Structure 1
Amino acid sequence: MGFLIGVACVSLLVWGWLLLGQGMFWRTDVRLPPRAAPARWPSVAIVVPARDEADVLPVSLGSLLAQDYPGEAEIVLVDDGSTDGTGALALRMAAEQPGLPLTVLSPGDPAPGWTGKLWALRHGIAHARASREPEFLLLTDADIAHEPDSLRELVAAATSARLDLVSQMARLRVANLWERLLVPAFVYFFAQLYPFRRVNRAASRTAAAAGGCVLLRTEAAVRAGIPDRIRQAVIDDVSLARAVKRHGGRIWLGLAERVDSVRPYPALGGLWRMVSRSAYAQLRHSPALLAGTVAGLTLVYLVPPAALLAGLALGRPALAWPGGLAWLLMAGTYLPMLRYYRQSAALAPLLPLTALLYLLMTVDSAVQHYRGRGAAWKGRTYARPSEAAATGEPGPPPAPGSASSEVTGG
């Protein structure tokens, strides 16, 4: 019994440290920094990698075409081997909806050593730079919808604060039971790993971004060798931010107010695949890190309710009170994220259950890796990066505009 009490007390101490010493990760007030309209609005190329996104494109691409941006801007959508008519749909939308000019590229399958998304970004960035060398690149996923002033606000924040990278964690869709249970916790865990305030300090080594919405200064991208230097990264957003910060760039990450993901996850399976495809890559495919993660999640999230319930059942207050207090701290730090997602506070005590599901997803990610399935997404499987690719040496540049079609709206 003494051992169990000790474990419960350690869990409580960990939660005390998380509350006060982990960059205030639980706060949700990190929004776009103070900003003012620049004297001259810089040029921007919006690069959208898309693979089989016809279902969500009418909302997401429609929101980009409708951007109210005072400067010069264009959209480059890179059709990454879609089989559902994504590229053709994008062209029809641009022809029917006046707005920003749109180019659709079809670069073909990724070269060896590249993930599909980064291969698409490489061609989109190369095309934009070849045509007019934009001052900024907005890298945004095909399932992300932007309010009409989103680009204007992002650029104003970057120019006002002299930032090289501005990234917003898009508000993910929360409509059904599984989304309510898992989605706010996904962002909560991400912020726990990469506290936004720590990311945003220039002196801090912590770096991260949210890949759905990244405004990147072109000069910083060139200096950091983006995307060639991170071409095999499965968790490309964090790798991108690390590369930019490592090469002297100033980065900022926060929660979005006017940027939303429109991708639905109607069942647990979709959310499970979203997490498991990259969880083991986050652990650098290390069995030791996997074991440490399982132990850590168990100590931090599963021990508190187990200690409380066991202490009450056995009549051992010395076991119950540290478990109960740790569970209370856990739920309290989760409440701000639930409020941000406009969800009931009644979900806060269920965080241990959610953490258990994420633990199982992480283990499943490792199992799939060792079965040779690696990080699988939309018909592609990415193996562990080779030692040669890890050197970060860029390959030959793509041929800009190969197999492209262009439609200009407005």
Structure 2
Amino acid sequence: MASYLVCLTTAGGVPLFTRTADDLKPLPFPVIGSLNGVHMFGSSHDVTLQSTVTEDAKIVWRVFHDSVTLIAIAQNDDADDCHYSNLLNLVFNAMVLLVGIEEVINMKNVEKFKKEIKVCYNLVDRILGIKGSWGFCQLTNAVEIIAAPENAVLQNFLDAFTEAAESVYGCLFIDGKVAVATKKWWSLSANELVLLSLLLSSLTPCTSRDIPVYLPDSHPTVPHRLMTFQLTRGIEVCVICGPSPSLTELEPEILRFWKPSYDSLRSVLKLSSRNFPTNLALDHNTLGFLLINKETNRCLCSISPTFNGGHPDETLSPSQRKEVLMSFYKRMVGTFFSSVVPGSESGPSEFSHQAMESYITTETHKCYAMMSGPHQLFMVYGEVIPTYAMRSITQKTLSLLTKDRNISV
């Protein structure tokens, strides 16, 4: 989503780090200085420069705790500024997650901090979509889940293992998405849920890890231990612990607790491209959907709603469907709908009434968005579907997805 990210000290404008998309040249230092200089000039005259646009680019500034200034430069897609501000908020909290709030806002030695902050690079790149595919969780500020019939069984395995780890925070990740988690894990803030999910997907696969983390909203000054264990390829179980137990003490318990669940784990992993139960049949015109619950900070998405991959209309590839779904979401949220993305309520508040539904039609596809209670559903259909039929089909799909006992969004 972002082509460039620049992080500087707010007081002196000293560059701390920059991140650049792989296919672009790094920003020259004079350009970085100019971008920071125009922001500082505005601040000196009691003006807060938040964003600006050129013919083909958008630039967004954010200052955190009068300590760190973040600047994002991206292609101008006419999306509301809230989406870019949310990215910068995630980047700042990623720094807090891995080095702690005190180190970030009270930099005593800038050169030392530059070295310490390098531990955040992979996570920051993951947030910005610079390395790896850009996911729905950093776009929606809601953690992606995978809904499978086996989740109820896996919940019991997770609860038992978490208790053995002397923790109340446990989570099972399958293909980068949350399958099940403990109640305390779900009680974490939206920022924390998203960042922990992105952190795991940004790390190099390994059998086990013990990583110090600071929870940005719950405990930004107190380090915790995030321990992860790979059960099989694409599946990891995680716990957040205090000083004990040690990684070596917990590793032998993996086989004892999780071996009986192997068949269930494999079944859920096979579902990872679809993300919801195979017994739920959606309308054959459906190319993809994104379901968000604003109260639980969870989202369920699928760009392969037909399990066998077949579809009468193959105009859009899976990657194109994902791009269309993301673009449609960005166009709706912050303009017509408010969501869990901070600042997304400002645009819709300008209307005299609250929009509940919206749609667009193109030559290759059609999209429909609907709000109902805490849920928001964004649908992508093939172009052959009659426009008048989209509303009823979207209503039926929302009912199917929210009432199925195997889906807990």
State the TM-score, normalized to the length of structure 1: 0.25
Higher relative contact order (Cα pairs below 8 Å, separated by 6+ residues) = 1
Query: Counting strand residues as a fraction of each chain, which structure ranks higher?
Result: 2
Could you say which structure has the higher helix fraction?
Answer: 1
